[in-house]
């Protein structure tokens, strides 16, 4: 009832990337990749800790992670890492007021200057770089 009264869209509304253009998709991907990378960081620190238990433990861990499934996960991590970095730099510069356009007299139909082609291009470039990195990563991992 309290939720209904406050009428907040909630997590479902926040995580819905479909309604407000590519910038909202970029925001959603940035969050998702951030959470994914944090999970990977924790997992990576845990898996590498097996080295302190000697060669047998390390090789046992490698047997578990150096599998086709492990390579797929690592390929996704590469994509997440590249997207999060490239889009993160765009967002960071934007947060400093760089590349968000200049204020001026708004004219009908009121296209927002901050949602300009440079921003959209950077988002698409981030996605493309992530895809390329994933392809390269997959080639290295599966080419072994």
Partner 1 sequence: MAVVAIPKASEEATSAPTPTTQPNTITLRISRFNPSNDSLPTFAEFKIPVQKWTTVLEAILHVKQNLDHSIAVRYSCRQASCGSCGMKINGKPALACYTKISEIGSKVVTVEPMSNFPIIRDLAVDFKQLFSDHKKMKPFIMRDDSEITPGTKEFVQTPKDLEKFLQFSYCIKCGLCNSACPTMATDESFIGPQGLAQAYRYVADNRDQGKKDRLKIVDQSHGIWRCHFAGSCSHVCPKGVDPAMAIQLLRGYLMGFRK
Partner 2 sequence: MRESIIMKIHYGTALAAVALVAVHILFRMTQKFSDSLSYQNVIANYHFLPYALMLEVVLILLSVHGFNGLRVILLELKQGVAYERAINYGSIAATVALVAYGSRTILMAGMGMS
Residues in the site for partner 2, rule: CB under 8 A?
11, 14, 31, 34-35, 37-38, 41-42, 45-46, 48-49, 51-55, 58-59, 62, 66, 81, 85, 88-89, 92, 95, 140-141, 144
Stretch that binds partner 1, among 60-68, 78-86, 111-119, 128-136 (CB under 8 A): 111-119
Can you spell out the DSSP letters for 13-68?
A: HHT--SSSHHHHHHHHHHHHHHHHHHHHHHHHHHHHGGGGG-HHHHHHHHHHHSSH
Binding residue for partner 1, selected from 52, 55, 68, 110, defined by CB under 8 A = 110
Q: 99 and 119 in contact (C-beta within 8 Å)?
A: yes
| Backbone phi, psi, residue 6, to 5° | -75, -20
**Region 6-35 residues binding partner 1, contact defined as CB under 8 A:** 6-11, 13-14, 19-21, 23-24, 26-27, 30
């Amino acid at each position: 009832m309290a939720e209904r009264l406050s009428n907040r869209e909630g997590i479902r509304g926040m995580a819905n990337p479909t309604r407000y253009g590519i910038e909202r998709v970029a925001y959603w991907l940035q969050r998702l990749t951030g959470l994914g990378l944090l999970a990977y960081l924790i997992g990576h620190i845990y898996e590498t800790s097996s080295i302190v238990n000697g060669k047998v433990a390390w090789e046992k861990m490698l047997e578990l992670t150096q599998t086709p499934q492990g390579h797929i996960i690592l390929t996704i991590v590469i994509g997440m890492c590249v997207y999060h970095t490239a889009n993160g730099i765009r967002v960071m510069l934007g947060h400093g007021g760089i590349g968000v356009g200049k204020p001026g007299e708004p004219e009908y139909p009121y296209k927002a200057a901050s949602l300009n082609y440079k921003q959209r291009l950077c988002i698409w470039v981030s996605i493309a770089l992530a895809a390329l990195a994933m392809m390269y990563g997959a080639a290295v991992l599966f080419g072994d």
